[in-house]
Amino acid sequence: MASTKTNQVQTPIDHRETFVSLQKSFAEGAQSVKEKLQTLYELQAADTDIDKLVQLRGELPEEVAELEHEVEALKSKHAHIEDVIEGYNKTIENCKQEIVSIDADIDKYQAQLNNIANSREYDSLNKELENQGLLRQIAEKNINEARYSIEDKKRDLELLEGKIAIREEDLAAKKAELEQIVESTAKEEAVLKERRDACAAKIDERTMSAYERIRASVHNRLAVVTVYNGDSCGGCFNTVTPQRLIDIASGKKLVICEHCGRIIVANE
C-alpha cells in the first residue's frame, strides 16, 4: 500500500496575530526553542550595538536632509525669479517691436496729412495719430515698468544667491562631519551587520516579523530582554509571575511580557 506524504500548509503571516499563535509556531522547526531564544538574544545584541553607532551621528542625518531640502527650495525660487526676469525681458522686446510698428503708422498718417481732401479726413487722421501716440506712451510705460521690475528682481536674486551660498557651506560642513563619523564606524558597523544578518538568517519569517514589530513599538528598540533583578522584565521592569520565571529559566518556551510585549529570555 503506497504511503501518502502530507505537506505542511504554511499559514500566511498576520501582523496582528496573537502571541499565543506565535508561541505555537516558535516551538516548531528543527531548531530547539532554546537555540532560537539564543539566536534572538544575539540578534538583539547586534541591533543594539548598531543602534549605538547610529546614535553617534545624532541629529546630523536629519540636519543634512533639512539643509538639502532648504537649498533645493532656494534654488527653485532662484530659477523662478530668473524666469520672471526673462518674462519682463520678453515684454520689453515686444514693446520695442510694437513702438517700431507704431512709429511706422505715425509716419504714414503724417504723410497722408499732406494730401487730405476735406476736414473730415483731416480729423480722422489726427484722431489716428492721437491714438497711435497714446499706444506709444503705453508701450514706453510698459518698458519702463518692466525695467524697474527687473532691477527689483535682480536685487532679490543677489540676496538669494548670498543665502544659497551660506546654506551650501553649512550643508557641506554637516555632510563632511557626518561622513567622518560614518567612515570612522564603517568597519565596525559592517561587522555588526554581518553578525546581524547571520542571526536573522536562522530565524523564521514569522518570528522575525514579530521581533521587528516589537522593536518598532518600544522607545528603546529592545524587543528581547533578560530578567531584571531576579523577578522583573528587563524592558518595562514590571514584576514577572513565578510561573513565567520558571518558563523563562527552562528555555523551552517563548515568553512574552504581559505588560510591554517584549520577549523575555534567561540571563544565561
The pLDDT of residue 12 is: 47
| Grid cell digits, residue 6 | 502530507
Least confident of 3-7, 98-102, 168-172: 3-7
In degrees rounded to 5, what are phi and psi of residue 133?
-65, -40
The pLDDT of residue 11 is: 45
Q: What percent of the chain stands above pLDDT 70? A: 92
Total-model pTM? 0.60
Query: Where do the structural domains in the chain lie, given as residue ranges?
Result: 19-56+201-265, 60-191
d(CA 154, CA 78): 10
| Grid cell digits, residue 199 | 542571526
Q: Are 52 and 212 in contact (CB under 8 A)?
A: no
Looking at the predicted structure, is the pLDDT value of residue 241 above 90?
yes
d(CA 193, CA 51): 11
- Domain 60-191: assigned CATH number: 1.10.287
